[in-house]
Amino acid sequence: MTRRLFGSVRSRATLAATLVVAVALLATGTALLLSLRSDLTGQAETEAASAARAVAVELSDGRPYDKLTGLDEDDRPVQIVDERGRVVAAGDDLEHITGTGADAVRPGKDGGGRGGEDDDGDDDSGHGSGGSDDDREARTGEVDSETGFSTGTATVDGTTADYRFASVEVEFEDRGTLTVYAGAPLAAQRSAVGTATTAMLIGFPPLLAVVAGATWLVTRRALNPVEGIRREMAAITASEDLARRVPVPDTHDEVARLALTTNETLAALESSVERQRRFVADASHELRSPIASLRTQLEVGAAHPGLLDLEGAVADTVRLQTLAADLLLLARLDAGERPGDARFDLGALAREHAEGRTGVTVTAEAVPVAGSRAQVGRVLTNLLDNALRHARSAVAVSVRAEGEWAVASVADDGDGVPEADRERIFERFVRLDEARSRDDGGAGLGLAIARDVAVRHGGTLTVGRAPAGGALFELRLPRAR
């Protein structure tokens, strides 16, 4: 069932279109989610960096830990860590933190803090009573221009959330380097990404269903003419009526061109079948006459030996043999028999076939051609027989080279061929009125055989008017390289 379903062009086109759209939507959705996440993370980093740098600036001015305004924000985790990783100050509402490298949320007993004391018992705030200006200057620091970022979690006032932490270092001469950590919540990022993901998961299936349905309908409409062509071809095959034609859609697209080509093929096939039928009918008619004549003569001879016409019987037998040979050669040519690639001299072949014929003159150059020597010789024989049959007194044969062609001409001084019949005489079993006699004119296969041989050798055979007024037949074959 599955194989049958996906065996149709419509099903495969629908599946392919749906898969392409699904991949495109997945790639686009992933890119959008990544871009959204990156943008929101960038906003959180900017917010965290601003908060951390504000605390760092206050700290660098020598403000005591308990006076830092950034530590009083209820919804933001802030932590200050010294260079040994000890927490020296943190926001009042900070209950738990990860991702800053120091998990403590309250300064240790030796870590200072809001108003705490250092290891020497001195006030870390920088506001000890009686401090000199030099002491205050020594307690100011320099804020680093670079900002680091990390991701972690924090619990502020009982609420745990994910944060993006920014870290800014402040360097003091007396206290070393302190690092200020401030976080910005990632809840908006997570919420936006989650909402977008949910929307995509909900929206993608209906969208894919719409794409699949639209593709199915469009493909069905586009392939309807193809189905019409298929049905008509099936009907033609069943009825064997080659006169029928498939419908041509008025779309001027590939399907319309397919229908036109199919009709052209049907027309060529109809013509070929009709030609074969005529050939069989004509061949049967041509064979029936000599066979009937021969049978009659033999029956008369059997009943009355003295009345037996041996010469007529022999003539009918020769005619029958010649006709059978012609039909066999045409059958081989129609079957696509290759002419071969033997090299031979067309001029010498023309002289050979003209030798011994009364009234024939030959002017032949040595021009090499390739193919079947016997078949080309048969062409020259047929042309000479036809010329002698219609000539009054003389036939002229010439062979010459013209560029890439070898040209053999056979001209007579007869009445010639009317222009309207110059193509028709090359059809099979066609005899003009002045040559209708079967005894003198043959079966009408000689010129048809000659043209078929010429075409299968890559050449042409045409007829025109000779200088003496008769027919001029020109055989053109490619010269052998």
- 410 has a pLDDT exceeding 90: yes
Which of 98-112, 180-194, 381-395 shows the lowest per-residue confidence on average (mean pLDDT)? Answer: 98-112
- Cβ-proximal residues to 459 (8 Å cutoff; 6+ apart), any chain: 405, 475, 476, 477, 478
Read off φ and ψ for residue 137, nearest 5 degrees.
-65, -35
Among residues 449, 192, 479, 230, the alpha carbon closest in space to that of 330 is found at: 449
For residue 417, give the 3-state DSSP assignment: coil
Helix (H, G, I), strand (E, B) or coil at 125: coil
If you count them, how many residues does the chain have?
481
Q: Using a cut of 0.75, tell me whether the model's pTM lies above it.
A: no
Q: In the numeric block, which tokens belong to residue 418?
A: 């009317």
| Residue 315 neighbours by CB under 8 Å, 6+ apart | none
- When pLDDT is averaged across residues 184-197 and rounded to a whole number, the result is 87
CB 445 within 8 A of CB 462: no
pLDDT for 154 beyond 50: yes
d(CA 307, CA 74): 141
Q: What are the tens digits of pLDDT across the range 247-288?
A: 988 888 888 899 999 999 999 888 888 877 877 777 777 777
Strand order in the sheet with 395-402: 360-364, 395-402, 405-412, 471-478, 460-465
Element (H, E) at 96: strand 94-97
Mean pLDDT of the chain: 83
pLDDT band at 139 (very low <50, low <70, confident <90, very high): low
Tell me what pLDDT residue 380 has: 95
- Of the candidate ranges 369-378, 397-406, 421-430, the one whose mean pLDDT is the lowest: 421-430
Considering just the CA atoms, what is the radius of gyration of the chain in Å? Answer: 53
* pLDDT for residue 169: 92
Tell me the average pLDDT across 125-134. 43
Give the residue ranges of DSSP H helices in 172-253.
187-239
In the chain the first and final C-alpha atoms are separated, in Å, by 60
- Can you tell me the mean pLDDT for 326-349? 84
Element (H, E) at 171: strand 159-172
- The more confident residue out of 211 and 112 is 211
pLDDT(118) > 80: no
CA angle 47/49/53 to nearest 5° reads: 125
Which CATH class name applies to 254-334? mainly alpha
* Most confident of the following: 100-109, 134-143, 190-199, 467-476: 467-476
Can you name the residues that pair with 473 across neighbouring β-strands?
410, 463
Tokens of 280: 């069989």
* CA 226 to the chain's CA centroid: 20
Quick one: pLDDT at residue 7? 58
User: 358 vs 258, 326, 393, 396, 468, CA distance in Å?
Assistant: 57, 25, 9, 11, 18
More confident call, 290 vs 233: 233
Domain definitions of the chain by residue range: 28-122+131-191, 254-334, 342-478
Mind spelling out the 3-state secondary structure of 270-328? HHHHHHHHHHHHHHHHHHHHHHHHHHHHHHHHHHCHHHCCHHHHHHHHHHHHHHHHHHH
pLDDT above 50: residue 117: no
Query: Tell me, what's the pLDDT at 122?
Result: 43
153 close to 99: Cβ distance less than 8 angstroms:
yes
Task: State residue 395's pLDDT score.
Answer: 95
Query: Residue 368: is it exposed, middle or buried by C-beta count within 10 angstroms (0-12/13-18/19+)?
Result: middle
Q: For residues 89 and 71, is the Cβ–Cβ distance under 8 A?
A: yes
CA-to-CA distance for 68 and 89, rounded, in angstroms? 10
Class of domain 342-478: alpha beta
At 223, is the pLDDT very low, low, confident or very high (cuts 50, 70, 90)?
confident
Q: What is the mean pLDDT of residues 25-43?
A: 90
Report pLDDT digits (tens) over 422-454: 898 988 877 765 444 444 556 678 898 899 999
Predicted confidence at residue 404, as pLDDT, reads: 94
Measured CA to CA, the distance from residue 248 to residue 262 in angstroms comes to 10
Q: Is the dihedral of CA 465, 468, 473, 478 positive or negative?
A: negative
